[in-house]
Structure 1
Amino acid sequence: MTAAARNPAAQQRFSLQRWWSIVLKEFLQLRRDRVTFGMIIGLPIMQLLLFGFAINTDPRHLPTAVIAADQSEFTRSFIASMEQSTYFKLVGTLPDEQAGREALMKGEVQFVLTIPPDFTRRLLRGERPALLVEADATDPSATGQAIAALPQLPYRVATHDLKGSLAPLAGGKPPFDVQVQRLYNPEGITQYNIIPGLMGVILTMTMVMMTGLAMTRERERGTMENLLATPVRPLEVMTGKIVPYIFIGLIQATIVLLAARWIFSVPFVGSVLAVYLAALLFIAANLTVGITLSSLAQNQLQAMQLTFFYFLPNILLSGFMFPFAGMPGWAQAIGNILPMTYFHRMVRGILLKGNGWVELWPNVWPMALFIVVVMAISVRFYRRTLD
């Protein structure tokens, strides 16, 4: 019989030895739980990298196309001034206004500069002609600073080119105007950009989390052994677990669409069917991720931790919270792997621009490829578990 057992009062007192034993036990459990240990180290590093390097609320070098019906030293000087401001990056020329609108609808460019055919002649006559800059304003934060820099550019052209006999044209007023046309969101209303994007956030959070707990729940309850003993194929198990959550995701998408239309008055230019088909594809992508995480995790806590690791880059690198064009190249490369990036472009394009399947296809096939790849990974890990 130990001394502590013989003395009940000693058991009631705080014991440093017992306390230290509990501390050591917790450290041992943390060391054995690799996912938790990865969260301890990986999460701060991920947040430092994303917030410190990837996030930029003042995007620059935005893709810009030019429709040049008039070419002269003045127009070339204005284009050079646009690039020198670092807000604009010339990516090519377009033949006409129709091609410019198509490029804006597809998201290939952020701005289109149109130079009228009589620009130089009117400028030399002192008639103060105007240049037209069309902006894809679906995300006001991505274009706001660049648009604010445009009114100063005519003064640079006047200082650089209007000299000698042309000096009187560089008077108090700028020698020409720059008219800005904000397309798809002319008033710069933030809700028009945020609310459609929230559909992607909600679907990602709920679909990945709910399916991420599916297999780990069965494993903890002991029903996984019974499932593994059946002749059910891995692909049948995966798809069978996914189908019920598809209907849940469609219900959530419907709630967001109704709120966007009747509460926040978000424009609904495109097809309702296109929105639901895009949502269905995105739901499938998230469900495959959730099933894959549940196959990798040993318990529900690990599944939740892996879900958070997946959810954080989707929020920060998809263009939902911060302008995608303002991120460095490596961050955009990561964002282009995530299905939320493509879904945001699709749903905003449908609601605000009226995009059809021709414009949506560049965002459809990467998401479909993502589903195939992740599903193959999920089936492979399931087979390892089966073996």
Structure 2
Amino acid sequence: MKHFSWSRYRSIVKKEAIQIRRDRASLGIALVMPIMLLFLFGYAVNTDVEHIATGVWDQSHSADSRELAQNLANTNIFAIETYVQSDDELEQLIDQGKIDVGLVIPADFATKRDRNEPVAVQLLVNGSDPNIARTAVSNAQLIVQNKAISIQEANMQKQGMGKLELPLSLESRVLFNPNMESIVFNIPGLIGLIMQNVTMILTAFSLVREKERGTMEQLIVTPIRPLELLLGKITPYVGIGLFSFCIVLFLGTYWFGVPVKGSILLLVLLSLLFLITTLVLGIFISTIAKTQLQAMQVAFAFILPSVLLSGFMFPRDTMPLVIQWLGGLVPLTYFLEILRGIFLKGVDLSALWLDTLGMTVFCVVIIVIAMLRFRKQID
């Protein structure tokens, strides 16, 4: 039985490094794509709703009505784009997509305010985008409620009744992301997503390319053992993956301003574990695919569900239990919890051991499966 040979292993590593250097397209994917994806998704994936295009039909034309409209604009949630003269004009602008919110102030608004009589204003909201609609309605309700409380306080002070004291209040304290900025939540997830996509595709292409060129058969007839060939093929990509990780980590921290609150050493070590997992996934894909086109199709068949199931875009807690179990079969699910835990919460391994264990188990299982399939194909 042949033993593992470091010299044969180094030969495969050297061969793969030379091939990567000559293959400018793969090298570009490995070095340029992570930066491009980070900037693209970093600026494009933003769930913070601001500057909602708003139209106002002010039938009162009074100082009070203008103050109410200005209260909406001062929040930066609403951006008053136009003033209209009829309901039909307001609804037409919403239908055309030029505005998403319409504020209708009745003609007797100022008169009823002066008489301290109840008065209602109407908010028309484009509900085709639920996120925008919920943000508009909730913020408008808060603005009107605060305005009503201030009016009530002023009336009570005029009557000599003192200051209005609410019987119930809420004191909220937001941990880890006080300003609730979506970019702070998204950037750690993007690092994991980019690492998964780039390294998995590159590794899969590397082995499938050997099949297409017929060089895999030449390697098989040499004394090189399957383990030596496998490790030699993925070792250069470990270095490339770590380099790409350092680039996106630097840009995420210094360009997008998302600091790492936890241990950077722990982050690098667990990222290396995830990197090895995705590399072995690429090898597994290469044992299924016969051409680079098939490898691309299989890779995307795995990437797209992982984006949905891992919690990158949507919270997993709101998903049905069966879908959550399916998400447990995706290594990105565990790595995102690790990334956000270290980035945002600054926690250590005592809080992340369960996710680390899950990713480790997945890594070991996929290594065994990939090795068995790879060995079977070579034999």
TM-score (norm 1): 0.55
Q: Secondary structure in 2 aligned to 1:280?
A: helix
1:199 aligns with 2:200: no
Equivalent in the alignment of 1:275:
267
CA shift at 1:326, angstroms?
A: 1.7
Task: Find the aligned partners of 2:274 and 2:376 in 1 and give their Cα distance.
Answer: 27
Alignment of 1:239-278 (within 5 A): 239-278=231-270
Q: Per the alignment, in what secondary structure is the counterpart of residue 179 of structure 2?
A: coil
- In structure 2, the residue matched to 1:339 is 331
Superposed displacement of residue 173, structure 1: 6.8
Deviates more, 1:176-185 or 1:365-374: 176-185
Q: Which residue of 1 aligns with 2:87?
A: none
Aligned length: 224
Matched residues in 2 for 1:385 and 1:347: separation?
36
Q: Give the alignment partner of residue 374 of structure 1, picking from 361, 366, 376.
A: 366
CA distance in structure 1 between the aligned counterparts of 2:331 and 2:224, rounded to whole angstroms? 29
Shift of 1:177: 2.4
Deviation at 1:263, TM superposition (A): 1.2
Q: Does residue 341 of structure 2 align to residue 357 of structure 1?
A: no
Aligned to 1:306: 298
How far apart in 2 are the matches of 1:241 and 1:379? Answer: 13
The ranges of structure 1 where at least 4 consecutive aligned residues each deviate by more than 6 angstroms after the TM superposition are none
CA distance in 1 between partners of 2:276 and 2:262 (Å): 22
Aligned-partner Cα distance in 2 for 1:192–1:323: 15
Question: After the TM superposition, which residues 1-387 of structure 1 pair with which residues of structure 2 at under 5 Å, given as runs?
Answer: 175-387=167-379
CA deviation digits over 1:128-181, x for unaligned, max 9? xxxxxxxxxxxxx9xx99xx79x99xxxxxxxxxxxxxxxxxxx9763323221
User: Which stretches in structure 2 are left out of the alignment for 5+ residues?
Assistant: 1-46, 48-130, 143-163
Cα distance in 2 for residues equivalent to 1:190 and 1:357: 25
- For the aligned residue pairs, the C-alpha RMSD in angstroms reads 2.3
Q: Residue 231 of structure 1: CA displacement?
A: 3.0
Distance 1:316 1:173 in 2: 46
The residue type equivalent to 1:271 in the other structure is: S
Q: CA deviation at 1:236?
A: 2.3
**Helix, strand or coil: the match of 1:180?**
coil
Q: Distance in 1 between matches of 2:223 and 2:168?
A: 76
Amino acid across the alignment from 2:249: L
One-letter code aligned to 2:333: T
